[in-house]
Amino acid sequence: MGRLTTHVLDTAAGRPAAGLRLEVWAMEPEPRFLKAATTNADGRVETPLLAGEEFLGGVYELRFFVGEYLRIHGLALPDPAFLDVIPIRFGIADAGQHYHVPLLFSPYAYSTYRGS
Protein backbone atom coordinates (compact mmCIF):
# COMPACT_ATOMS: atom_id res chain seq x y z
CA MET A 1 0.00 0.00 0.00
CA GLY A 2 1.29 3.47 -0.88
CA ARG A 3 1.94 6.17 1.66
CA LEU A 4 3.68 9.50 2.19
CA THR A 5 6.18 10.00 5.01
CA THR A 6 8.84 12.52 5.98
CA HIS A 7 11.88 12.89 8.23
CA VAL A 8 13.27 16.30 9.20
CA LEU A 9 16.84 16.91 10.34
CA ASP A 10 18.26 20.17 11.73
CA THR A 11 21.74 19.94 10.21
CA ALA A 12 22.99 23.10 11.94
CA ALA A 13 22.31 21.54 15.36
CA GLY A 14 23.13 17.99 14.24
CA ARG A 15 19.87 16.47 15.47
CA PRO A 16 16.34 15.52 14.41
CA ALA A 17 13.99 18.51 14.20
CA ALA A 18 11.63 17.60 17.04
CA GLY A 19 8.48 19.70 17.30
CA LEU A 20 8.63 21.13 13.78
CA ARG A 21 5.22 22.02 12.33
CA LEU A 22 4.40 21.09 8.74
CA GLU A 23 1.43 21.09 6.41
CA VAL A 24 0.35 18.84 3.54
CA TRP A 25 -1.32 20.44 0.50
CA ALA A 26 -2.81 18.97 -2.67
CA MET A 27 -1.97 21.31 -5.56
CA GLU A 28 -4.39 20.12 -8.24
CA PRO A 29 -6.74 21.33 -9.57
CA GLU A 30 -6.39 24.21 -7.05
CA PRO A 31 -4.23 24.36 -3.89
CA ARG A 32 -6.11 22.64 -1.05
CA PHE A 33 -4.98 22.21 2.55
CA LEU A 34 -5.12 18.55 3.64
CA LYS A 35 -3.61 18.36 7.12
CA ALA A 36 -1.09 19.66 9.62
CA ALA A 37 1.36 17.60 11.64
CA THR A 38 4.25 18.04 14.07
CA THR A 39 7.43 15.97 14.13
CA ASN A 40 8.26 13.73 17.09
CA ALA A 41 11.58 13.43 18.97
CA ASP A 42 13.08 11.55 16.00
CA GLY A 43 12.06 14.26 13.50
CA ARG A 44 9.31 12.06 12.05
CA VAL A 45 5.52 12.16 12.08
CA GLU A 46 4.04 9.22 14.02
CA THR A 47 1.77 8.06 11.19
CA PRO A 48 1.97 8.45 7.40
CA LEU A 49 1.03 11.92 6.20
CA LEU A 50 -1.17 10.31 3.54
CA ALA A 51 -2.14 6.67 3.18
CA GLY A 52 -4.94 4.43 1.99
CA GLU A 53 -7.79 6.09 0.15
CA GLU A 54 -6.42 9.59 0.79
CA PHE A 55 -3.13 8.75 -0.97
CA LEU A 56 -3.76 9.50 -4.63
CA GLY A 57 -1.61 10.38 -7.62
CA GLY A 58 -1.09 14.07 -8.30
CA VAL A 59 0.98 17.06 -7.28
CA TYR A 60 1.46 17.79 -3.58
CA GLU A 61 3.36 20.24 -1.43
CA LEU A 62 4.84 19.85 2.03
CA ARG A 63 5.34 23.14 3.86
CA PHE A 64 7.91 23.03 6.65
CA PHE A 65 7.83 25.90 9.16
CA VAL A 66 11.56 26.05 9.85
CA GLY A 67 11.74 29.72 10.87
CA GLU A 68 9.22 29.11 13.64
CA TYR A 69 11.15 26.00 14.75
CA LEU A 70 14.50 27.85 14.81
CA ARG A 71 13.09 30.77 16.81
CA ILE A 72 11.50 28.41 19.34
CA HIS A 73 14.93 26.81 19.79
CA GLY A 74 16.53 30.17 20.57
CA LEU A 75 18.19 31.01 17.26
CA ALA A 76 18.21 34.73 16.48
CA LEU A 77 17.18 35.08 12.85
CA PRO A 78 17.26 38.24 10.73
CA ASP A 79 13.93 39.88 9.92
CA PRO A 80 12.84 38.60 7.51
CA ALA A 81 14.54 35.23 7.89
CA PHE A 82 16.33 33.89 4.83
CA LEU A 83 14.33 30.65 5.17
CA ASP A 84 11.02 30.76 6.98
CA VAL A 85 8.64 28.28 5.33
CA ILE A 86 10.23 25.69 3.04
CA PRO A 87 7.79 24.39 0.41
CA ILE A 88 8.64 21.12 -1.31
CA ARG A 89 6.42 20.42 -4.31
CA PHE A 90 6.52 16.92 -5.74
CA GLY A 91 4.49 14.52 -7.84
CA ILE A 92 3.04 11.13 -6.94
CA ALA A 93 2.92 9.08 -10.12
CA ASP A 94 2.20 5.70 -8.53
CA ALA A 95 -0.05 5.71 -5.46
CA GLY A 96 0.92 2.10 -4.80
CA GLN A 97 4.45 3.08 -3.78
CA HIS A 98 6.00 4.59 -0.65
CA TYR A 99 7.00 8.23 -1.16
CA HIS A 100 9.39 9.42 1.55
CA VAL A 101 10.30 13.12 1.39
CA PRO A 102 13.06 13.99 3.89
CA LEU A 103 14.17 17.54 4.64
CA LEU A 104 17.63 18.48 5.86
CA PHE A 105 17.93 22.17 6.75
CA SER A 106 19.88 24.93 8.43
CA PRO A 107 19.00 28.64 8.67
CA TYR A 108 20.56 29.26 5.23
CA ALA A 109 20.24 26.04 3.23
CA TYR A 110 18.16 22.92 2.72
CA SER A 111 18.09 19.74 0.68
CA THR A 112 15.63 16.98 -0.05
CA TYR A 113 15.39 13.79 -2.07
CA ARG A 114 13.03 10.90 -2.61
CA GLY A 115 13.95 8.50 0.15
CA SER A 116 12.82 5.00 0.99
Q: Which residues of 8-41 are buried (b: 16+ CB within 10 A; e: fewer)?
A: bbbeeeeebbbebbbbbbbeeeeeeeeeebebee
User: 69: phi > 0 → left, psi -120 to 50 → alpha, else beta; which?
Assistant: alpha
* pLDDT band at 13; cut points 50, 70, 90: very high
Task: Give Rg (Cα) of the chain.
Answer: 14
Interval 43-75: pLDDT, tens: 999 999 999 999 999 999 999 999 999 999 999
pLDDT at 110: 98
The answer to whether the Cα torsion of 14, 16, 21, 25 is positive or negative is positive
pTM of this structure:
0.96
Q: Calculate what percentage of the chain has a pLDDT beyond 90.
A: 98
